[in-house]
Amino acid sequence: MASKRKTESQAPAEESDILQIKPLGAGQEVGRSCHLLEFKGKKILLDCGIHPGMSGMASLPYLDMIDPEEIDLMLVSHFHLDHSGGLPYFLQKTPFKGRCFMTHATKAIYRWLLSDYVKVSNIASDDQLYTDGDIEKSMEKIETINFHQEVNASGVRFWCYSAGHVLGAAMFMIEIAGVKILYTGDYSRQEDRHLMCAEMPSVKPDVVIIESTYGTHIHENREKREHRFTSLVHDIVNRGGRCLIPAFALGRAQELLLILDEYWSNHPELHDIPIYYASQLAKKCMSVYQTYINAMNDKIRRQITMSNPFVFKHIINLKNMEQFDDIGPSVVLASPGMMQSGLSRELFEGWCTDKRNGCIIAGYCVEGTLAKHVLSEPDEIVSLGGQKLPLKCSVDYISFSAHADYKQTSEFLRELKPAHVVLVHGEMNEMARLKAALMREYENDPDYKMEVHNPRNTVAIELHFRGEKIAKVVGELAADPPKQNNKVSGILVKRNFNYHIVSPKDLQSYTDLAMSTVSQKMSVVFNGTASLLAYYLNQLAGDIEYLSSEPASSRSSFSNLVIQVFGSIKTIQLICIIACHNHIHVCFSSIHINNSYFIIILIIIMNMSGKIVIIIITTTIIIIIIITNGYLSINISSHTNRGEKDKNCHWQYKIVEIVESGVAKVNHI
Amino acid sequence: MSCIHYKFKSSLDYNSVTFDGLHLSLTDLKKAISHQRRLKPGEFDLEITNAQTGDVYKKGDELIAKNTSVIVSRVPVTRTTASSTQKSWEAFKQECAKVVRVSVVTCGPT
């Protein structure tokens, strides 16, 4: 993967010290989260969402600023549309060929949530980014992991922690070459009815990419918030109005349903007033909720053993508008959460003209959506059909959206103390305020310096991580304890980002590599006797050793006689002469020194066969001249002890005429 | 009917824009692509590059011949309001500096 590499004039990407973080979406804005992380040649994409306030191609992050083919890894934090809405497009409609990971619950819910989004979005079909078929096909490309499960994919090690926020939401800790980066996605450090709070990572990261949705705000107390919510709902139904709570089918809706169900159980006077949970995929998705109980908090898990808390006593599931009898006061939870289209929009347009009715916005709203617009209390709104409708119903905002507030963010970062903080997923001014507040917290601290960055979309942050290069010495080289100024020499083996030094002998046991030797064998025809051979070899080398049994008589035709020559010279590897029948095989291992010795031995053997041989040896070259049967051949070979390649030149001539002793006319052939 | 083929940099296949005539200006091409893809003019601009030569088309009135293949990149538009006031302030400062220099030169040593 990632086979295309652009040539660089400086150090190659794998060795560079620069870590680059580039938001392609959710940089100084909320929506279409997508962050590119580049380090040591690895490219990782974090989330791929869509912007709920825009439609079509414009709602995607700036994917044109990257090359999808070069991305190695794609990590998705949770199933909200602004983090996973662009995934089917990215997986099916771009040349991305890396691996994609998310938690089990995220994958299960992603399937149905995005399917619902496709149905509900009312753009013409040729403008839709992807179809239900694309979502289905993308499921095969997504791999799932569990919380705390460590995965090693293409040299990158990562694992995830629980992030709270919604079911299955994860914070990814990524490690590349010893540098740790934590991406929080959306997280909350407050426990709620069914989710646990975000975990504190056990290792300290060097860089934290953190959400800044609520900037410097502080949430109100949880009990107070719930009380405010339930009393508001009670007031609306008491005055005979309908209460609309727009919320996406999954996510915070489950929390609201738990709260309402409990409140209704405690207030028998409300038992006549129906609560509707309007979602076509409610049934499918509730079964998902009931499956992934182990991703929720302990309280719910204990409750499950007694009775299923998601089987509600007072809440009725509405499949579509036809089932809904709009008689009298009621409470309806309908999707989508920001009322861009769909059922919640329809109901809102139908109810907003009556001043008894009320709408409670229970989650974060993005710029450009009706929910955000309505919060500013305009006099009238524009319906989907273009009609102007007067806004008479009450509108309130009670946020259950489970993001960290300033207090939680500050404590979280104080505990982790990373060297760099990158703020994403926050509106521009909020983010700037958060950055200033965080920097002010640590400006008087002499020991710890935190750098806070808040990049705009497509603007990259470059961080330098020098990193010490550590090599582990293993095997026999590690037998003696090290001393200062001692030199260690061996083979440096690099696997992903780990370095080891081993001696060549240990190579086989510590790696998959094996040492091998190349040996050469040269065969020459020889018609002499064993003793003749032995005599000449003795003359040449002095010490010869018989590795097989000595011949009984000097005249016997020898077979399989093995003689080792030059055995006393330790610098050369074995040269053996194996004589059998009329051939002599000279075997030696191919190191450069042996070349020269081999030639000398060859000359001796050929000399014995009645050829005239002249050898000229200087310190660097050996010239061999062989005259036989009217042919003259000259061989020049260079030999050095410095490990340079040996060079061989060879010429052959035909002797034409002998002019005088020692001089002859030759023709080059 | 002539057409120009375009492909978004991150997508896999080509689409076409049809028009009458032999070529289309850059601004017209951008409008046609935005219209076809229902992109409302917002915080981004389209950068058009020739698929074969790799040249980026910069000027709005540059003409692109029919049957050309182009690659479209969606790029964010930097907020010009802040930088334009900055630019005009810098320009104003430079003007003042020039005036001062001129006056210094004129009132030379007496």
Structure confidence by residue, pLDDT tens digits, A417-440 = 999 999 999 999 999 999 999 999
Beta-bridge partners for A545: A564
Evaluated on CA atoms A344, A349, A350, A355, the torsion sign reads positive
Separation in Å, CA of A42 to nearest CA in chain B: 19
Beta-bridge partners for A37: A21, A44
Q: Which amino acid is at B44?
A: F
Q: How confident is the model at residue A555 (pLDDT cuts 50, 70, 90)?
A: very low
Per CB distance under 8 Å, which residues of B are interface residues toward A? 8-12, 37-40, 42, 44, 72-76
- Give per-residue pLDDT as tens, B1-13: 788 899 988 888 8
pLDDT higher at A455 or A311: A455
Nearest-CA residue of chain A relative to B44?
A58
Note the ipTM here. 0.72
Strand-strand pairing, A631-638 and A648-660: antiparallel
pLDDT higher at A214 or A481: A214
- Give per-residue pLDDT as tens, A116-159: 888 777 555 556 888 889 999 999 999 999 999 999 988 899 99
Check: CB of residue A164 under 8 Å from CB of residue A211: no
Task: Residue A240: name the closest of A347, A393, A381, A380 by CA.
Answer: A393
- B38 with A62: Cβ contact below 8 A: no
Interatomic CA distance for residues B51 and B14, integer angstroms: 11
Q: Which long-range contacts (CB under 8 A, 24 or more apart) does A299-305 make?
A: A299/A193, A299/A194, A300/A193, A300/A194
CB neighbour list of residue A590: distance below 8 Å, 6 or more residues apart: A517, A518, A519, A520
Beta-bridge partners for A576: A564, A587
Task: Residue A282: name the closest of A321, A253, A313, A242 by CA.
Answer: A253
Per CB distance under 8 Å, which residues of A are interface residues toward B? 54-58, 60, 62-66, 68, 93-95, 123-124, 127, 456-458
- A55 with B73: Cβ contact below 8 A: no
What mean pLDDT comes out for the span A190-217? Answer: 92
pLDDT higher at A64 or A56: A64
pLDDT at B109: 54
On chain B, the residues whose CB falls within 8 A of the CB of A56 are 37-39
Which of B12, B72, B76 lies at the smallest CB-CB distance from A93?
Answer: B12
Evaluated on CA atoms A413, A418, A422, A425, the torsion sign reads negative
Distances (CA, A) of A80 to A46, A182, A294, A365: 14, 19, 20, 13
Which of B11, B72, B76 lies at the smallest CB-CB distance from A457?
Answer: B76
Which of A62, A68, A456 lies at the smallest CB-CB distance from B74?
Answer: A62
- Give per-residue pLDDT as tens, A278-287: 876 777 777 7
Interatomic CA distance for residues B93 and A640, integer angstroms: 73
Mutate to test the interface with B, among A57, A87, A128, A428 (most CBs of B within 10 A): A57
Nearest-CA residue of chain A relative to B79?
A456
Nearest-CA residue of chain A relative to B48?
A64
Nearest-CA residue of chain A relative to B77?
A457
Element housing A499 (H / E): strand A498-502
Nearest-CA residue of chain A relative to B36?
A127
Check: CB of residue A422 under 8 Å from CB of residue A28: no
Nearest-CA residue of chain A relative to B74?
A64
Interatomic CA distance for residues A625 and A616, integer angstroms: 8
On chain B, the residues whose CB falls within 8 A of the CB of A58 are 39-40, 42, 44, 74
Tokens (6 digits) for A355: 């001043």
- B75 with A68: Cβ contact below 8 A: no
Separation in Å, CA of A425 to nearest CA in chain B: 17
On chain A, the residues whose CB falls within 8 A of the CB of B8 are 57, 64
Q: How confident is the model at residue A549 (pLDDT cuts 50, 70, 90)?
A: low
Percent residues over pLDDT 70 in chain B: 69
CB neighbour list of residue A306: distance below 8 Å, 6 or more residues apart: none
pLDDT at A1: 42
**pLDDT exceeds cutoff 70 at B103:** no
Peptide bond into A274 cis (omega under 30): no
On chain B, the residues whose CB falls within 8 A of the CB of A127 are 37-38
- Give per-residue pLDDT as tens, B49-65: 888 888 888 888 888 88
How does A158-170 read in b/e, with b if 16+ C-beta sit within 10 Å? bbbbbbbbbbbbb
What mean pLDDT comes out for the span A440-455? Answer: 88
Q: Is A426 left (phi over 0), alpha (psi -120 to 50) or beta?
A: beta
Q: Which amino acid is at A359?
A: C
Q: How confident is the model at residue A552 (pLDDT cuts 50, 70, 90)?
A: very low
Tokens (6 digits) for A472: 């582990």
Which of B10, B12, B38 lies at the smallest CB-CB distance from A56?
Answer: B38
Give pTM, 2 decimals.
0.72
Q: How confident is the model at residue B101 (pLDDT cuts 50, 70, 90)?
A: low
On chain A, the residues whose CB falls within 8 A of the CB of B81 are none
On chain B, the residues whose CB falls within 8 A of the CB of A60 are 74
- A63 with B40: Cβ contact below 8 A: no
Cβ-based contacts under 8 A for chains A and B: 49
Interatomic CA distance for residues A330 and A211, integer angstroms: 36
Element housing A377 (H / E): none
3-state secondary structure of A577: strand
Least confident of A143-147, A349-353, A639-643, B93-97: A639-643
- A93 with B11: Cβ contact below 8 A: yes
- B75 with A458: Cβ contact below 8 A: yes
Interatomic CA distance for residues A113 and A641, integer angstroms: 73
Residues of A taking part in catalysis: 403
pLDDT at A654: 76
Evaluated on CA atoms A71, A75, A76, A82, the torsion sign reads negative
Nearest-CA residue of chain B relative to A126?
B37
- A64 with B8: Cβ contact below 8 A: yes
**pLDDT exceeds cutoff 70 at B78:** no
Interatomic CA distance for residues A384 and A388, integer angstroms: 9
Interatomic CA distance for residues A7 and A367, integer angstroms: 42
- A123 with B38: Cβ contact below 8 A: yes
On chain B, the residues whose CB falls within 8 A of the CB of A458 are 75-76
Q: How confident is the model at residue A639 (pLDDT cuts 50, 70, 90)?
A: low
pLDDT at A6: 44
- B73 with A64: Cβ contact below 8 A: yes
3-state secondary structure of A616: strand
CB neighbour list of residue B51: distance below 8 Å, 6 or more residues apart: B7, B68, B69, B70, B71
Q: How many CA atoms does the CB half-sphere of A403 hold within 13 Å?
A: 24
DSSP conformation letters of A63-79: GGGS-GGG--EEE----
Separation in Å, CA of B44 to nearest CA in chain A: 8
Q: How confident is the model at residue A205 (pLDDT cuts 50, 70, 90)?
A: very high
pLDDT at A609: 64
- B37 with A56: Cβ contact below 8 A: yes
**pLDDT exceeds cutoff 50 at A4:** no
pLDDT at A2: 41
- A64 with B9: Cβ contact below 8 A: yes
Task: Residue A627: name the closest of A655, A599, A659 by CA.
Answer: A655
DSSP conformation letters of A508-575: HHHSS------EEEEEEE--S-HHHHHHHHHHHHS-EEESSPPPSSTTS---SEEEEESTT-TTS--E
Tokens (6 digits) for A321: 């508008």
Least confident of A96-110, A207-221, B66-80: B66-80
On chain B, the residues whose CB falls within 8 A of the CB of A124 are 38
Interatomic CA distance for residues A555 and A573, integer angstroms: 31
**pLDDT exceeds cutoff 60 at B110:** no
What mean pLDDT comes out for the span B32-41? Answer: 81
Distances (CA, A) of A87 to A114, A335, A350: 10, 21, 34
Interatomic CA distance for residues A635 and A623, integer angstroms: 6
pLDDT at A368: 81
